[in-house]
Structure 1
């Protein structure tokens, strides 16, 4: 009988998680700043969509920062 999955899974390497998360936070902050610039030239519904998306981005940043704290403890 042939093994359905002939390759071994890669070990869970979490050594650079904090660095990756910090990069993601920086990227998200840059996206928020770009969105603020876009909002200056937007109005109505488009502006509201950008505000909502930035709110979700800020919530994501909080989650990533908490994850960074958790990873740093380990």
Structure 2
């Protein structure tokens, strides 16, 4: 029976990964807002709701970046 050894917790590039996730999320928001011009009222409502959730995610990413930056200082 093989023993699976867990990967070490490598957090060295978490800030960069989070910044990339923020960038992609903003791009998705912009694309969704452009699509609204061609969408029904119902779809527009769903896009607005999804973009609001994306804004919440961006806030969480930024908070996590601050936590990671503080952890790097220690």
For residue 11 of structure 2, the aligned residue among 14, 28, 38 is 14
TM-score by length of 1: 0.91
* 2:51 maps to 1:54: yes
Corresponding position of 1:69: 66
* 2:38 maps to 1:41: yes
Instruction: Count residues with an aligned counterpart.
Output: 71
Larger radius of gyration: 1
* 2:15 maps to 1:27: no
Which runs of structure 1 show a deviation greater than 4 angstroms over 4 or more consecutive aligned residues?
A: none
CA distance in 1 between partners of 2:26 and 2:41 (Å): 23
Unaligned runs of 5+ in 2: none
TM-score by length of 2: 0.91
Unaligned runs of 5+ in 1: none
Which has the larger share of helix? 2
